[in-house]
């Protein structure tokens, strides 16, 4: 993935527009000049007309609140900041967390380590990922249909993964046929595929959800030979979190060197200098402790920074009851600031969501820069890059345009997101998707659940209506 990103940056000549090793440390909206003043970790300040943030939806690492966490003497890693060159060979490794990251890490390292213990709070449902070499036929198919595939991803699907989501109800087919459909999806692989290409009601109807979860539970029982390990790995909740997939997760527990500790049976009492002590008095001695404990998702990277809008108000102040926005991109009282993947953006595959936000933010700025007339040409943003470094201005004397989402628009959008998510079983299952993984965090809607194409349709309607919900001066 890193090689791919580097390739894209080279191919599109992006390096000249990127300043590395520089963190945003604060930003303030200046009302008299209608500019953002931006501070960075290197001491370089910027003054800009627009502030576009892409601080990361899943980026601020979450460390669990476990006693003694700082006392561990071995190596300690969070999966969200994995250093290059970690060697786990022949080591005793403990891992806390078995979400999509934990499942992948366990699968990847089990064969190399001396001993692996998964400290597992809630067992999860995972299906095969179906990953493998890409055939020439598949590659040709992608290359020949590239434009259409992207069009379908963005404008004809809910989750934007290039799969064919179905509306077929679970109980519209016989039990035998249902089994066959699940089995075919299991063989093909893919978490979202299993949840959304088999039947259309798994995430909204509890009885349908049970059918899918029972199928997966049977697979777990068939795969894991040790009945005690299998018992611990069997999920007890609804199948209603981010659907996981793996390249042989459950199989790893058939290895002698791999074990699972159920934290429901024996909670962690504390982390000690030597390892992890559980409530049964066992001290699990470890050389390495891995935290696959996820992220303070969506707003976590925004609220830890002082991003100050009108009157010095921070986003944290604005979001005391949970993160909100208009369309996932704009917050009232934070003029000319636009978020890529802000709260209440679409719940879907992330790259097309990012592209959608880049497109809509660019269009909105272009519209405002042209004084509200769509036809005129837009100056290239990159042509101004050098002129605003170190407190200079972007050269333009005008204070306009100033683009603000209205408070009513934000309120309406939040209500829409809330209503759309109300019927989802995801809402009844604790996870980062509704902020439930972070102690003290408001448990509120943080995504637009009607899907990517419905979201893009909303955006088109907003634009066609003269960017309804935005005040542009
Ligand atoms: P997730 O999905 O938030 O998973 C975090 C895991 O860490 C999950 O198994 C949690 O258990 C576990 N966890 C968190 N805190 C604790 C404590 N205190 N004790 C024990 N276990 C704990 O993060 P991921 O990195 O796997 O994935 C995040 C997203 O990134 C993913 O959805 C993809 O979209 C990409 P729990 O289930 O809450 O009991």
Establish whether residue 101 lines the binding site of ligand 1, counting it when its CB lies within 6 angstroms of any ligand atom: yes
Per-residue model confidence as pLDDT tens digits over 221-267: 999 999 999 999 999 999 999 999 999 999 999 999 999 999 999 99
What is the pLDDT at residue 418?
94
Question: What is the C-alpha separation between 50 and 363, in angstroms, rounded?
Answer: 14
Per-residue model confidence as pLDDT tens digits over 361-383: 999 999 999 987 544 434 343 33
Question: How many angstroms is it from 122 CA to the middle of ligand 1?
Answer: 9
CA 96 vs CA 101, 119, 353: distances in Å? 11, 5, 30
Establish whether residue 78 lines the binding site of ligand 1, counting it when its CB lies within 6 angstroms of any ligand atom: no
Per-residue model confidence as pLDDT tens digits over 30-46: 999 999 999 999 999 99
What is the pLDDT at residue 342?
97
pTM of structure: 0.90
CA 196 vs CA 73, 154, 288, 348, 444: distances in Å? 44, 16, 37, 12, 24
Q: What is the mean pLDDT of the chain?
A: 93
Per-residue model confidence as pLDDT tens digits over 405-421: 999 999 999 999 999 99
Q: Which residue has the higher pLDDT, 434 or 157?
A: 157
Establish whether residue 435 lines the binding site of ligand 1, counting it when its CB lies within 6 angstroms of any ligand atom: no
**CA nearest to 162, candidates 187, 188, 124:** 188
Give me the mean pLDDT over the 273-287 stretch: 98
End-to-end CA distance of the chain: 42
Which of 99, 108, 117 to mutate to test ligand 1, by most ligand atoms within 8 A of the CB atom?
99
Give me the mean pLDDT over the 298-315 stretch: 93
What is the pLDDT at residue 440?
83
pLDDT > 50? residue 385: no
Q: Please give the share of the chain, as a percent, with pLDDT higher than 90.
A: 87
Q: Is the bond leading into 280 cis (omega within 30 degrees of zero)?
A: no
Question: What is the C-alpha separation between 323 and 316, in angstroms, rounded?
Answer: 8
What is the pLDDT at residue 439?
85
Give me the mean pLDDT over the 129-138 stretch: 95
What is the pLDDT at residue 470?
97
Per-residue model confidence as pLDDT tens digits over 428-465: 888 888 888 888 888 889 999 999 999 999 999 999 99
Token duo for residue 284? 């699990």
Question: How many residues are present in the chain?
Answer: 473
Question: What is the C-alpha separation between 31 and 46, in angstroms, rounded?
Answer: 16
Q: Determine which residue's CA is closest to atom 6 belonging to ligand 1.
A: 97
pLDDT > 90? residue 97: yes
Establish whether residue 432 lines the binding site of ligand 1, counting it when its CB lies within 6 angstroms of any ligand atom: yes
What is the pLDDT at residue 441?
83
Question: How many angstroms is it from 97 CA to the middle of ligand 1?
Answer: 5
Question: How many angstroms is it from 262 CA to the middle of ligand 1?
Answer: 15
Question: What is the C-alpha separation between 360 and 170, in angstroms, rounded?
Answer: 36
Establish whether residue 107 lines the binding site of ligand 1, counting it when its CB lies within 6 angstroms of any ligand atom: no
What is the pLDDT at residue 373?
58
pLDDT class for 397, splitting at 50, 70, 90? low
Establish whether residue 122 lines the binding site of ligand 1, counting it when its CB lies within 6 angstroms of any ligand atom: yes
Establish whether residue 436 lines the binding site of ligand 1, counting it when its CB lies within 6 angstroms of any ligand atom: no
Question: How many angstroms is it from 297 CA to the middle of ligand 1?
Answer: 11
Per-residue model confidence as pLDDT tens digits over 18-32: 999 999 999 999 999
Structure-token match 């170190």, residue found = 390
Give me the mean pLDDT over the 110-123 stretch: 98
pLDDT > 50? residue 390: no
Establish whether residue 243 lines the binding site of ligand 1, counting it when its CB lies within 6 angstroms of any ligand atom: no
Which of 437, 443, 446, 447 to mutate to test ligand 1, by most ligand atoms within 8 A of the CB atom?
437
Establish whether residue 437 lines the binding site of ligand 1, counting it when its CB lies within 6 angstroms of any ligand atom: yes
What is the pLDDT at residue 374?
45
pLDDT > 50? residue 389: no
What is the pLDDT at residue 378?
41
What is the pLDDT at residue 121?
97
**CA nearest to 191, candidates 223, 229, 163:** 163
Question: What is the C-alpha separation between 344 and 338, in angstroms, rounded?
Answer: 13
452-464 and 350-369 helices, crossing angle to 10°: 0
Q: Determine which residue's CA is closest to atom 24 belonging to ligand 1.
A: 294
Token duo for residue 126? 């995972």
């Amino acid at each position: 993935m890193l090689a791919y990103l580097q390739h894209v940056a080279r191919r599109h000549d992006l390096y000249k527009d990127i300043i590395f090793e520089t963190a945003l440390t604060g930003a303030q909206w200046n009302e008299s000049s209608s500019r953002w003043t931006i501070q960075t970790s290197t001491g370089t300040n910027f003054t800009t007309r627009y502030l576009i943030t892409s601080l990361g939806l899943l980026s601020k690492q979450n460390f669990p609140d476990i006693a003694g966490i700082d006392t561990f003497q071995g190596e300690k890693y969070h999966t969200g900041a994995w250093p290059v060159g970690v060697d786990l060979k022949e080591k005793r490794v403990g891992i806390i967390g078995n979400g999509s990251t934990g499942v992948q890490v366990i699968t990847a390292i089990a064969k190399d380590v001396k001993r692996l213990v998964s400290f597992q709070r809630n067992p999860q449902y995972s299906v095969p990922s179906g990953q493998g070499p890409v055939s020439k036929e598949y590659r040709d198919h992608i290359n020949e249909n590239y434009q259409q595939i992207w069009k379908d991803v963005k404008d004809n699907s809910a989750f934007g993964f290039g799969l064919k989501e179905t509306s077929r109800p679970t109980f519209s087919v016989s039990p035998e046929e249902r089994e066959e459909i699940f089995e075919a999806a299991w063989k093909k692989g893919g978490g979202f595929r299993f949840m959304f290409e088999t039947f259309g009601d798994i995430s909204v109807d509890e009885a349908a959800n049970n059918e899918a979860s029972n199928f997966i539970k049977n697979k777990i029982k068939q795969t894991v030979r040790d009945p005690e390990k299998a018992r611990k790995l069997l999920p007890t909740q609804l199948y209603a979190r981010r659907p996981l997939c793996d390249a042989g997760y459950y199989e790893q527990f058939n290895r002698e060197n791999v074990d699972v500790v159920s934290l429901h049976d024996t909670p962690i009492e504390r982390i000690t200098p030597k390892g992890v002590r559980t409530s049964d008095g066992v001290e699990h001695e470890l050389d390495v402790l891995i935290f696959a404990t996820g992220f303070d998702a969506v707003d976590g990277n925004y609220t830890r920074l002082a991003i100050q809008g009108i009157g010095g108000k921070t986003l944290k102040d604005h979001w005391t009851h949970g993160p909100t926005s208009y369309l996932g991109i704009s917050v009232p009282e934070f003029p000319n600031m636009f978020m890529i993947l802000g709260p209440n953006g679409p719940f879907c595959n992330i790259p097309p969501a990012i592209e959608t936000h880049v497109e809509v933010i660019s269009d909105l700025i272009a519209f405002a820069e042209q004084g509200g007339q769509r036809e005129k040409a837009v100056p290239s943003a990159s042509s101004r890059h050098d002129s605003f470094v170190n407190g200079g201005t972007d050269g333009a004397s005008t204070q306009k345009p100033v683009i603000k989402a209205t408070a009513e628009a934000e309120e309406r959008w939040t209500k829409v997101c809330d209503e759309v998510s109300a019927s989802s079983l995801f809402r009844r299952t604790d996870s980062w998707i509704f902020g439930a993984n972070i102690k003290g965090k408001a448990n509120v809607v943080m995504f637009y659940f009607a899907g990517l194409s419905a979201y893009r349709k909303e955006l088109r309607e907003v634009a066609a209506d003269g960017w309804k919900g935005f005040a542009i001066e």
